[in-house]
Amino acid sequence: MNDTELNEAIRGIKQQFFAYRNGILAEQLRAAGSPCHVIFGLNVPQIAAIARQLTPSAELAEALWADKNVRESRLLACYLFPRDTDAARAEQLMLEVQTPEEGDMLCFRLLKHLPEARQLAGKFAASRDALTAYTARSLTRHLE
């Protein structure tokens, strides 16, 4: 995927976010302390519907994951990371989780499918960072 195709894909995704936006849910998430500056208020089935229209792609997933200010970009990225994501990148993703919702989605959509999943869960279970430890516990639950 070249830069033009990537930018076009992201533009189309953002248009879908805008079309599905839910101001009531967005406001509730803001009031609950979400760290994201932009919250469209999509629910998980809507994000899943968008994901089904896309082909998993490391490039697209990385671009969406890098969009730290948009809640829905981060959640959608979890659907698009390829199942052959290497252990080093999976570790980094765990360390970059910003919310419990992201941690749960990352575990459910990607991490539990990796051959190193148990090692990742064990490595970060006692992390001093609360979100990293939470994500490790979530991964453990998904592996049971």
Within the chain, residue ranges assigned H as helices are 3-20, 23-31, 44-52, 58-66, 71-80, 87-96, 100-109, 117-124, 130-143
Beta carbons of 39 and 71 less than 8 angstroms apart: yes
**What's at 34, amino acid-wise?**
S
Residue-range domain boundaries for the chain = 1-82, 84-144
pLDDT tens digits, 48-103: 999 999 999 999 999 999 999 999 999 999 999 999 999 999 999 999 999 999 99
Q: What is the pLDDT of residue 49?
A: 98
Secondary structure letter of residue 68 according to DSSP = T
Instruction: In whole angstroms, give the CA distance from residue 127 to residue 43.
Output: 29
Phi, psi of 38 (to 5 degrees): -120, 120
**Residue 1: per-residue pLDDT:** 80
